[in-house]
Amino acid sequence: MLRKLYDGVFNLARHRHATPALAVVSFAESSFFPIPPDVMLAPMILAKPEKAYFYAGVCTLASVLGGMLGYAIGYFLTDVGLAILRLLGHADGLDHFREWFSQWGLWVILIKGFTPIPYKLVTIASGLAAFSFPIFMAASVATRGGRFFLEAWILKTWGPVMLAEVEKRLALWSGIGLALLIALIVVLKLL
């Protein structure tokens, strides 16, 4: 089922309404949709490199707005937020999310917002934990914008050769990036 959904989103990237579809997918992925917008963003940039930063901007804006919805789901619809997180394999409960955010707070958003970890986990959990909304928004803009604009720059600069390398070793590069971020947090926490 997920493979069909993935293929469907990838095919949308070639459609004449790809930009609005990118916005919808970016918005939905931040609160409930399982497929990340990168599946559309990458082929769209490869097809029209001159629009790379425009597409990254659309992706960022829609993702942050979708993140607001995810936050609202967690904050105002606690039972719905917990149900969504259980469906995504995170049945730890409300107390766990509040403890998680009280201990790590901003770092949770910064790390998870930039990595391939589903962003909806961060947005809903932030609302569940009643994390500071202004800080949540600032971190969301920074991490989502950083991720999508970096992707746009990489694809515009190195194009298909780099995409093939990233796709071939996505788990490796994601793991290395996550390990570096965790090491940075540990070092900062110790200071």
Residue 124 in contact with residue 70, Cβ under 8 Å? Answer: yes
| Rounded Cα–Cα distance for residues 116 and 120 (Å) | 11
| Rounded Cα–Cα distance for residues 27 and 68 (Å) | 9
Is 60 exceeded by the pLDDT of residue 109? yes
The pLDDT assigned to 179 comes to 77
CA atoms within 13 A on the CB side of 177: 16
The pLDDT assigned to 188 comes to 59
Is 80 exceeded by the pLDDT of residue 67? yes
pLDDT tens-digit readout, 116-143: 677 888 898 899 889 999 999 999 999 9
Residue 125 in contact with residue 72, Cβ under 8 Å? Answer: no
The pLDDT assigned to 10 comes to 66
What band does 11 get if pLDDT is binned at 50, 70 and 90?
A: confident
The pLDDT assigned to 149 comes to 95
- Crossing angle of helices 52-76 and 133-168, in 10° steps, is 130
Other CB atoms within a 10 A radius of the CB of residue 2 amount to 8
The pLDDT assigned to 118 comes to 78
The pLDDT assigned to 170 comes to 59
Quote the DSSP letter at residue 131. Answer: -
Q: How far is CA 181 from CA 55, 90, 111, in A?
A: 26, 22, 7
